[in-house]
């Protein structure tokens, strides 16, 4: 965990590369119209299925990259870290959190990356959604910190 | 390919064509791929919410992201700027949504809770996780898409628009 990605002594090109990656990522979100909640809502209401091409188009590129990178390179040049797939452990939280996220996505038509991109295309109204996301992220952090404390104190389960 | 029934079906499913979606999706994947190739990091967008909260809150839940919070800020800045490039080059100025603020605010709160509890969002699970053929991510994506479809259809059926 304490690799060059997080600590001091980072490669001088680390931040520029993250910025360039973000630029391309954000350009893609805007180009695909995912930065527009209306377009996402049209997908969810079965009026325009284009979103499928965005997600699978993106996953196809990352899929090829994740497959080839460890075969072509030993380590990531800017951090020295090895290439690993994005594998997260499965538990009930994945489904509970996914359902809560789905409810929010279905109500607002916006997800985090698309919200940042939406700001970039000039949609200042999206600040409502961004404010909501920070409040939500804070609430769950507050809540789970308390739950962790309660577990440590071995108090009654609730 | 010139079958009129097939053409009509395609036009119904994709009234705006597929080029903008497919090309945009390739760029999204390319952005994630550039970062992964250089650093080994699978970038996701929603961790930024918690890592940025670590600047203002000492809670353990946010402090675990202290070491990555600066580059996550730069990543998000890049997303905003990249979308700005699109706006200047293709959109011809600012665009504003007509979706009602209460939907954005309330929906945003749920998105903030759900993406963090569920270990990822549309970029982390949807683009990087599915690209990794991660079963956890595929389960997460199926869950949030199904619930989002139900929610959006219910809200539309209640007459809320947009």
pLDDT in tens, chain B (162 residues): 578 898 888 889 999 999 999 999 999 999 999 999 999 999 999 999 999 999 999 999 999 999 999 999 999 999 999 999 999 999 999 999 999 999 999 999 999 999 999 999 999 999 999 999 999 999 999 999 999 999 999 999 999 999
Q: What is the C-alpha separation between A90 and B137, in angstroms, rounded?
A: 9
Q: What chain A residue is nearest to B29 in terms of C-alpha separation? A: A58
What confidence score (pLDDT) does residue A156 get?
46
Residue A1 lies in a domain: no
Q: Give the tokens for residue B152.
A: 């959006």
Q: What is the C-alpha separation between B144 and A112, in angstroms, rounded?
A: 14
* B 140-159 near A (Cβ less than 8 A): 140-141, 143-156
CA of A3 vs chain B CAs: smallest distance (Å): 10
B8 reaches A (C-beta below 8 A): no
Q: Which one of A41, A55, A56 makes the best mutation probe of the B interface by having the most chain B beta carbons within 10 Å?
A: A55
A139 and B49 Cβ atoms separated by less than 8 Å: no
Domain count, chain A: 1
Q: Give the tokens for residue B78.
A: 């890049």
Residues of B in contact with A123 (CB under 8 A): 94-97
Q: What is the C-alpha separation between A31 and A27, in angstroms, rounded?
A: 6
- Give SS3 for A54: helix
* B 91-110 near A (Cβ less than 8 A): 91, 93-99, 101-110
Residue A9 lies in a domain: no
Q: Do A32 and B23 touch (CB under 8 A)?
A: yes
Residue A6 lies in a domain: no
Say yes or no to pLDDT of A2 above 50.
no
* A 17-76 near B (Cβ less than 8 A): 17-38, 41, 44-63, 65-66, 69, 73, 75-76
Say yes or no to pLDDT of A11 above 80.
yes
- Give residue A104's domain range: 14-157
Q: Which one of B28, B57, B143 makes the best mutation probe of the A interface by having the most chain A beta carbons within 10 Å?
A: B28
Using omega within 30 degrees of 0 as the cis cutoff, is the peptide bond preceding B162 cis?
yes
Residues of A in contact with B138 (CB under 8 A): none
Question: Above pLDDT 70, what percent of chain A?
Answer: 91
Residue A8 lies in a domain: no
What are the tens digits of pLDDT across the range A56-92? Answer: 999 999 999 999 999 999 999 999 999 999 999 999 9
What are the tens digits of pLDDT across the range A81-131? Answer: 999 999 999 999 999 999 999 999 999 999 999 999 999 999 999 999 999
Q: Which one of A20, A43, A103 makes the best mutation probe of the B interface by having the most chain B beta carbons within 10 Å?
A: A103
Residue A7 lies in a domain: no
Say yes or no to pLDDT of A27 above 80.
yes
Phi/psi at A33 (nearest 5 deg)? 70, 15
CA of B6 vs chain A CAs: smallest distance (Å): 15
Q: What is the C-alpha separation between B61 and B121, in angstroms, rounded?
A: 18
Residue A83 lies in a domain: yes
Alpha carbon B75 to chain centroid, angstroms: 14
What confidence score (pLDDT) does residue A4 get?
63
Q: What pTM was estimated for this model as a whole?
A: 0.94
Checking phi first, is residue B39 left (phi over 0); if not, alpha (psi -120 to 50) or beta? Answer: alpha
Which residues, including other chains, have CB under 8 Å from residue A153's CB and lie 6 or more apart? none
A139 and B112 Cβ atoms separated by less than 8 Å: yes
In the block, which residue shows the tokens 């100025």? Answer: B93
Residues of A in contact with B154 (CB under 8 A): 106
State which H helix or E strand residue A46 sits in: none
Which residues, including other chains, have CB under 8 Å from residue B90's CB and lie 6 or more apart? A31
Q: What is the C-alpha separation between A117 and A35, in angstroms, rounded?
A: 6
A10-40 burial code (b ≥16 CB/10 A, e <16): bbeebbebbbbbbbbbbbbbbbbbbbbbebb
Q: What letter does residue A140 receive in the DSSP assignment?
A: H
Say yes or no to pLDDT of A1 above 70.
no
B143 and A104 Cβ atoms separated by less than 8 Å: no
Residue A3 lies in a domain: no
Q: How many residues does chain A have?
A: 158
Residue A5 lies in a domain: no
Residues of B in contact with A93 (CB under 8 A): 117-119
């Amino acid at each position: 965990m304490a690799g060059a990605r997080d600590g001091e002594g980072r490669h001088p090109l680390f931040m520029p590369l993250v910025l360039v990656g973000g630029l391309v990522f954000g350009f893609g979100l805007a180009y695909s119209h995912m930065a527009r909640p209306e377009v996402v809502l049209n997908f969810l209401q079965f009026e325009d299925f284009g979103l499928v091409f965005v997600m699978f188009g993106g996953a196809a590129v990352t899929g090829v990259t994740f497959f080839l990178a460890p075969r072509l390179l030993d380590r990531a040049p800017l951090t020295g870290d090895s290439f690993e797939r994005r594998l997260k452990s499965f538990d009930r939280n994945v489904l509970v959190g996914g359902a809560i996220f789905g409810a929010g996505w279905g109500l607002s038509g916006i997800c985090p990356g698309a919200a940042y991109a939406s700001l970039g295309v000039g949609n200042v109204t999206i600040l409502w959604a961004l404010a909501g996301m920070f409040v939500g992220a804070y609430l769950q952090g507050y809540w789970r910190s308390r739950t962790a404390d309660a577990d440590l104190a071995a108090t009654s389960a609730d | 390919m010139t079958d009129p029934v097939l053409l009509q079906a395609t036009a119904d499913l994709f009234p705006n064509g597929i080029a903008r979606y497919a090309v945009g999706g390739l760029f999204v994947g390319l952005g994630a791929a550039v970062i992964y190739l250089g650093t080994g990091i699978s970038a996701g967008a929603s961790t930024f919410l918690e890592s940025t909260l670590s600047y203002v809150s000492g809670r353990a839940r946010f402090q675990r992201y202290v070491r990555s919070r600066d580059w996550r800020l730069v990543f998000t800045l890049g997303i905003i700027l990249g979308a700005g490039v699109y706006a200047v080059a293709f959109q011809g100025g600012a665009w504003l949504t007509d979706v009602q603020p209460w939907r954005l605010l309330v929906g945003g709160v749920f998105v903030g809770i759900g993406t963090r509890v569920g270990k990822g969002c549309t970029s982390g699970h949807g683009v990087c996780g599915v690209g990794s053929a991660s079963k956890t991510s595929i389960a997460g994506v199926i869950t949030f898409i199904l619930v989002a479809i139900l929610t959006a259809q219910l809200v539309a059926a209640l007459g809320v628009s947009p």
